[in-house]
Structure 1
Amino acid sequence: PRAVLAFYYGWWGLAATSGARRHWGPPDGQGVAGAAHFPQGGLYDSRDPDELVRQLAVARAAGIDGFIASWWGRGGFEDGTLGLLLRAAERAPFKVSAYYETSGAGPRAGEAASARIAADLDWLARRHMTSPAWLTVEGRPVLFAYERVLEEVEPQAFADAVARVAAGGGPRLFTVGPAEFAQTRPERAPFFDALHAYSVVRETHEVGSRRLSAAAERIYRQQVAAAGSALACVSVSPGYDDREMPGRPDPRQVLKRRDGATYRVLWDAAIRAWPDWVLITSWNEWHEATEIEPSVENGGRELETTREMAGRFRTA
């Protein structure tokens, strides 16, 4: 069935709840350092159970079916958040998957990375994927992998790690591999059950507003066609602006929101492409200003667009 999923970042921390400030930079006027926008409800902690319940309620009201939670390793901060998120989702009800970001072994790590991936996936399967809130396809737990993972191992090695989980008595995972942003990367298809592009910013940030619709529709139709009989995913985003983040290379890519028009245009193009899943980048990646979560600068505009477009998508 069709689904609307949003990439979710559970790395935000405050001293009162988590013992330390995490990812939120120091206060910078009304804003916060390292982010272009400021949360409308103020800074929050991703491990605050009340905050998780609130976020899930807001997301459900906007037509979102589930979150793809960024995950950075066994026992890490985001791992703890994932467990709390799943417990909240079980009561919502709401679906959750994980975004496997890295093995932590570094680029071209080969066998070392493959072994760590297998251990990570076994951990996820045993500790988290047993939750009834975990997203599944035909009974198989869904796992997304970020592009960085295939900088560490070849696709075959990742597939071997997935097979090791099943051989060890774990579930047969449904893997959604990276297609390297808007590229289709057909050579990767045999190693995953589906492919996804996290973002189309690279291909659209320099496209004028008049040409954005045609450019996005071309990209999305190519992605859906490349999926063939496999599950087809396309990604939409309200914008992108990481200029407040230190340490990233210049020139920075900026996809302007254009008072909400960018998000609407991308959604329109996505619906016309007829995918199975629409992935929203993102619920709360404040560093890159891709969030649809309400902000001081944009209010709840993107949530209203999501609610409208998700309804259209399901009935198209």
Structure 2
Amino acid sequence: MRTSTLIRSFARATAAAASLLTLAAAVPAPAQEPVRKIPPAIGPNIDLEPGDFARSRRFGPGDKVVMTHYFYWYDAPSKAHIVDYDGSDALTTHPPTLRDFSYKSVSWHKGQLKDMIAAGIDVVLPVFWGSPGDHTPGSRMFWSFEGLPPFVKALDELKAEGIEPPAVGLFYDTSTLESNGWGYHADLTTDLGRAWFVATIRDFFSMIPPRHWALLDGKPIVDLYSAAFAKAHDQSSIDLLKAEFPKRFGGTAPYVIREVSWNVKADDVYAWGGAVRPNFLGVAEIGPGYDHSAVPGREPLVVDREGGAFYERAWVQALNRSPRIVIVETWNEFHEGTTVAEAREYGRTYIDLTRKYVDMFKKGIVPPRPRTAYTDAATVAIALGATDRAEGLARVDVADGRSAAATTAGKTSRAPAKGVGGRYLYFRVDDGFKWARSMHAAVEVDYYDAGPGSFGLQYDSHDPSAELNGAYKPAAARAGLTGSHAWKTVRFDLPDARLDGAQNGGADFRLAF
């Protein structure tokens, strides 16, 4: 089919159908788990008492909390994470200088922590790659342990100077479930796998004195990366963590924030990739854009920072939703260009922007809609073709929203193409046209009925039960295709539209084919 010369009046939507195909296959018996002994905790802060948390920083139910991921794996003297194996630059964005740029440097950690204070960050989440299989100096991931004492010393020096640094939680980089010094692929449904999982978290906190811990509702924070690196997982690993952690750490059970790929019950949930597409499952995960051009072997993926506009839109979306927790993705992942830390390319721009929006977030300020040429318009529209004619409605070209220009039965149009992950056409509504935080709107689409089949519309809604916390709610209507080879019009009703740009590419709605 061909899609529309014109998308006319604009509004809200509901429901789309999906099908499920299940394949059955013979499953071989699981391989025998290796006989391994988990080593004791690597750090000194173990077997704590409740009184040890007297100086921990506490966040209660009424507090709004901003966190960020802190990548501390860089070491300029050895060129670790600075230069790729082929001698090329490993960084997409760059620190202002490589001097003293090292996880071994107290002054480097101290400078980063001071900048986090300037940005308004409450909780720093060191990205931890330590594992029970890497306790020995010289092992593959030992740097992750080695970098924590200088980090702690930096925290202590700031406190000695009367400066309150961000409190500390854990970002557990779960890729160590597969990549580690033992060469062990952890199965978290087995005794060894569960023990490995718990020991990794234990090791991190054993190296961080409790005076620096962030306690959310009285609980230390454990933010989990993707479950995909586990050979298998189930609820038992989380249950064991909740049972065993308090025995070694003064009766405290962790506040576990699961990445959405974890099929478990936890205290909260988020989706990784906020620097590519802001998401708001429970925790708001946002970032400034993405570019992993310097990473060898990856397919190109660039999300333009737009001079800070992408990041600002993400923050405005978060302010409109008023979550309890916002995680900035990331403080300093220079490889993937998701940094908000000071950088050679943009100076302190993103530190200043973060502070601006953190202050608004803490005060509960929601910025007013901007006034544009479409603020008082009754409709917005777009005529699709080789060059779209946009009148307050723009098509968004993203990986799963590819299309080709065509002229069909005398009208200019665009035909959806198979993209990465699906066949969609995405659209963004002019911000000035969005007259309220919750809108009742409608979308009319002119389409060429090449048939057979159907298509629908999915929109950014206030419905928390819809995909990605309402970002992809299907409209109730669908357009049926009969092969009449005529131009037709379909109307989609959107009764609870939010339209905060939560879809791919910052889009507000998409046509789904």
Structure 1 length normalisation: TM-score? 0.79
Contact 1:199 1:235 in 2 (8 A): yes
Matching residue within 208, 224, 235 for 1:156: 235
Contact 2:64 2:362 in 1 (8 A): yes
Contact 1:144 1:177 in 2 (8 A): yes
Structure 2 residue aligned with 1:233: 283
Separation in 1, partners of 2:222, 2:244: 13
Structure 2 residue aligned with 1:176: 257
Once the two structures are TM-superposed, the CA of residue 177 in structure 1 deviates from its matched residue by 1.1
Give the secondary structure class of the aligned counterpart of 2:272: coil
Structure 2 residue aligned with 1:98: 170
Equivalent residues in 2 for 1:124-273 (5 A)? 124-128=204-208, 130-148=209-227, 151-166=230-245, 168-170=247-249, 171-180=252-261, 188=264, 190=265, 192-200=266-274, 204=277, 216=278, 219-220=279-280, 223=281, 232-248=282-298, 250=299, 252-273=300-321
Tell me: CA distance 1:169–1:301, structure 2 relative to 1, closer, same or farther (3 Å): closer
Once the two structures are TM-superposed, the CA of residue 117 in structure 1 deviates from its matched residue by 1.0
Contact 1:234 1:275 in 2 (8 A): yes
Structure 1 residue aligned with 2:400: none
Give the secondary structure class of the aligned counterpart of 2:362: helix
Once the two structures are TM-superposed, the CA of residue 84 in structure 1 deviates from its matched residue by 2.7
Matching residue within 21, 24, 33 for 2:89: 33
- Structure 2 residue runs of 5 or longer lacking an equivalent are 1-62, 136-141, 179-183, 365-513
Matching residue within 355, 358, 364 for 1:310: 358
Matching residue within 21, 29, 40 for 2:79: 21
Separation in 1, partners of 2:189, 2:79: 34
Give the secondary structure class of the aligned counterpart of 1:12: coil
Tell me: CA distance 1:153–1:51, structure 2 relative to 1, closer, same or farther (3 Å): same
Separation in 2, partners of 1:169, 1:237: 35
Matching residue within 115, 119, 128 for 1:58: 115
Contact 2:330 2:339 in 1 (8 A): yes
Once the two structures are TM-superposed, the CA of residue 123 in structure 1 deviates from its matched residue by 2.3
Separation in 1, partners of 2:237, 2:89: 36
Once the two structures are TM-superposed, the CA of residue 293 in structure 1 deviates from its matched residue by 1.1
Once the two structures are TM-superposed, the CA of residue 79 in structure 1 deviates from its matched residue by 2.2
Once the two structures are TM-superposed, the CA of residue 9 in structure 1 deviates from its matched residue by 0.4
Contact 2:106 2:153 in 1 (8 A): no
Give CA deviations for 1:233-280 in whole Å, capped at 9, x if unaligned: 1111111011210022x2x22111011110111011111111111111
Structure 1 residue aligned with 2:64: 2
Q: For residue 297 of structure 2, what is the amino acid of its counterpart?
A: G
Once the two structures are TM-superposed, the CA of residue 66 in structure 1 deviates from its matched residue by 2.1
Once the two structures are TM-superposed, the CA of residue 138 in structure 1 deviates from its matched residue by 2.5
Structure 1 residue aligned with 2:106: 49
Q: For residue 72 of structure 2, what is the amino acid of its counterpart?
A: G
Give the secondary structure class of the aligned counterpart of 1:73: coil
Tell me: CA distance 1:166–1:36, structure 2 relative to 1, closer, same or farther (3 Å): closer
Matching residue within 129, 152, 158 for 1:72: 129
Q: What is the percent sequence identity of the aligned residues?
A: 21
Q: For residue 158 of structure 1, what is the amino acid of its counterpart?
A: S
Structure 1 residue aligned with 2:328: 280
Once the two structures are TM-superposed, the CA of residue 167 in structure 1 deviates from its matched residue by 6.1
Give CA deviations for 1:134-171 in whole Å, capped at 9, x if unaligned: 11113221111111466344241321331342364433
Tell me: CA distance 1:46–1:110, structure 2 relative to 1, closer, same or farther (3 Å): same
**Quick check: 1:299 aligned with 2:347?**
yes
Matching residue within 151, 154, 166 for 1:85: 151
Once the two structures are TM-superposed, the CA of residue 122 in structure 1 deviates from its matched residue by 2.6
Contact 1:101 1:148 in 2 (8 A): no
Structure holding more helix per residue:
1
Structure holding more strand per residue:
2
Separation in 1, partners of 2:187, 2:198: 16
Structure 1 residue aligned with 2:457: none
Tell me: CA distance 1:160–1:95, structure 2 relative to 1, closer, same or farther (3 Å): same
Separation in 2, partners of 1:234, 1:68: 15
Once the two structures are TM-superposed, the CA of residue 107 in structure 1 deviates from its matched residue by 6.4
Give CA deviations for 1:96-127 in whole Å, capped at 9, x if unaligned: 11111123443656423222112222323433
Give the secondary structure class of the aligned counterpart of 1:286: coil
Separation in 2, partners of 1:305, 1:25: 30
Tell me: CA distance 1:246–1:87, structure 2 relative to 1, closer, same or farther (3 Å): same
Structure 2 residue aligned with 1:115: 195
Contact 1:37 1:289 in 2 (8 A): yes
User: Alignment RMSD, CA only?
Assistant: 2.5
Tell me: CA distance 1:290–1:194, structure 2 relative to 1, closer, same or farther (3 Å): same
Separation in 1, partners of 2:248, 2:118: 38
Tell me: CA distance 1:50–1:133, structure 2 relative to 1, closer, same or farther (3 Å): same
Separation in 2, partners of 1:116, 1:280: 28
